[in-house]
Chains A and B, each alone.
Chain A
């Protein structure tokens, strides 16, 4: 139990430190958000031939970003964090003129939807293909699949996304070319809306699937090949267990263990690469908003999207850590070791 508490505390610390680094970085770099907005406004006023009042512009920029440049960073970080924790107040988006929390809260389910499906499908396929290759080790099936996996891996997911978008959506019209749901459909539990969502999500999920799939199949195969040679597998075969049982309970379960760590990192990677996918498919999830905000210097929205991504990653990695014991009963919980 002690381990779980410590691990939880570690996650919280990681989360806050990560947020602080981003926060401070954003503030400290020259040409930060306040300056950017000020320059933008001054430029616009000069173009219109208006009198420029720097003080007034500075005040406006401060109000828009919610940043007080005279305040030390730790104090403003504390205030920012306090507003988030107590009032769920992330500030207001400069670009969309809406509370940031509402924007992201509405966008969040869509991003999670894409990422989780892509990840689950990708990893299931990775494991299945890896074990399958190992089972048929040395045959033509094995070498054929190896080449296939290597080719799959060297094609960047966004390349696959672009090609699919171009061919399947624009040329053949099988899938919609962007967006997250058909504009005409009434949101809710009706068939039109739900199939619409599925069709809009199909291509982004397919390209996320490639992200999840590409990484591990070869490694999975190598691990499984080693497990196949182990004595307990031979004795399982001698005991006359069915092939299915050997494959699922003995082979897959034991060769999954090292992959599981990769799975944890995969969660973080998936949400990251989902940003690109969402932009390519014009899928208005958190990633799309983050990009728009970053390009347009929408400081409050960028920070909030950041909190979302960090929160998801920290939680996912923590859950994976906690459940590792279920998969590998041998795993110690935080063993100590000698220090030199």
Chain B
């Protein structure tokens, strides 16, 4: 409803005399009501949409479970202690040690719970680093184009080419990091280039849209356009990739702890697996120490399953509309099905 648009007969519209309905409504709405509506629009509605998909529901519940385990669980469950039970106790035998014990008689369940915060810190550091750099590089490259695009994408290509895991192994061997945040950042080093490239191609599709062109023609600065017009459009994608980055960081950190590249001072799932492998000989003789190895394995598979389900669900929730807006090849009635089960 633009006020200044003249009608074809040269007159002006009714609204331009008395103000648009929208403005009148805004004047009448108290701030509390406006806040409630904003909450409904930005928080409650996406949540409702997300809840309607079974994948988001199960995945979200799983993610929540792990988050609680890492925050509340640490407070509720006492830390594991040496000789609190017999050595190599089988799981589900003694209910004070529900998952059995390791070679020093420490409860495996307690160790699992107290490993969660370290894993969460690593995943968080990984997400912040990789998604942050990817958003910065991808959005600027895609939007600015030209020389900047070439430079940034060449940079991304160099980092794609640097073999990820070998680089991480070398860095880990040089720095010997113990702090979970640093470990997470190092591991996320090979995550951002791919993400930046994908973001760039999304921005490429968006930058020629009408609303961006309008913003440009009224002389908004690049940071404003990128921040206010483009970021909200790619936010769902960023959220989904954040879940992907978390999975990747957890996978790789556990792998590196397991093969013994990273030094450790505190417990985490990878360390537990390594100890079970080295000291318990759990791979060759799973009869005795198998459970020591198995439960961390299950914990990792569980967290990645939840995160993947969650992001799949989000993808389904957000994508059809994004697709519908940008796709010309897909007929209307197929779009709903595109991301479906």
Contacts and interface: CB of A to CB of B under 8 A. Distances in A.
**Bind each other:** yes
Contact of A280 (B144, B149, B164, B259): B259
A14 B161 contact: yes
Contacts of A276: 165, 255, 258-259
A214 to B, nearest CB: 9
A276 B147 CA distance: 39
Nearest to A265: B194
Name the prevailing secondary structure of the B interface residues.
helix
Contacts of A269: 164
B119 interface: no
A39 interface: no
Contact of B169 (A150, A155, A265, A294): A294
- The size bracket of the interface on A is 35 or more
A40 to B, nearest CB: 14
Interface residues of B, number: 69
Given A166-B284, A339-B146, A225 B337 contact: yes
Contact of A159 (B160, B167, B297): B297
A46 interface: no
Contacts of A340: 143-146, 207, 216, 222
A269 B193 CA distance: 13
Interface in B152-170: 154, 157-167, 169-170
B229 to A, nearest CB: 13
B166 A229 contact: no
Contacts of B9: none
B338 A297 contact: no
B24 interface: no
B326 to A, nearest CB: 13
Interface string A219-239: 000100110011000000000
Interface stretch (A25-33, A78-86, A124-132, A196-204): A25-33
B158 to A, nearest CB: 5
Contacts of B301: 154-156, 159
Contacts of A337: 145, 204
Contact of A18 (B148, B161, B173, B302): B161
Interface stretch (B30-38, B39-47, B105-113, B304-312): B304-312
A95 interface: no
Interface stretch (B11-19, B72-80, B84-92, B328-336): B328-336
Contacts of A193: none
Nearest to B163: A309
A295 B161 contact: no
Interface in A292-340: 294-295, 297, 302, 305-306, 309-310, 312-314, 317, 337-340
B260 interface: yes
A268 B144 CA distance: 28
Contacts of B165: 272-273, 275-276
Given A166-B286, A230-B329, A317 B297 contact: no
A185 interface: no
Interface string B204-247: 10010000000010000010000000000000000000000001
B200 to A, nearest CB: 12
A26 B330 contact: no
A229 B308 contact: no
Nearest to A274: B165
B142 to A, nearest CB: 10
A170 interface: yes
Contacts of B204: 337
Interface of B: 143-149, 154, 157-167, 169-175, 190, 194, 204, 207, 216, 222, 247, 251, 254-255, 258-261, 273, 277, 282-286, 290, 293, 297, 300-302, 304-305, 307-309, 312, 329-331, 333-334, 337-341
Nearest 7 A-B pairs (CB), nearest first? A339-B146, A309-B163, A154-B305, A229-B334, A272-B165, A339-B145, A294-B173
Given A339-B145, A340-B143, 13 more contacts: A22-B167, A137-B337, A154-B302, A162-B293, A226-B330, A226-B334, A268-B164, A272-B164, A272-B190, A276-B259, A302-B173, A317-B161, A340-B146
Interface of A: 10, 13-15, 17-18, 21-22, 25-26, 29, 31-32, 137-138, 142-143, 146, 150-151, 153-156, 158-159, 162-163, 165-167, 170-171, 177, 218, 222, 225-226, 229-230, 265, 268-269, 271-273, 275-276, 279-280, 287, 290-291, 294-295, 297, 302, 305-306, 309-310, 312-314, 317, 337-340
16 contacts: A10-B154, A14-B154, A15-B161, A17-B158, A32-B174, A154-B305, A166-B282, A171-B286, A177-B284, A225-B334, A226-B330, A272-B190, A294-B261, A310-B161, A313-B163, A340-B207
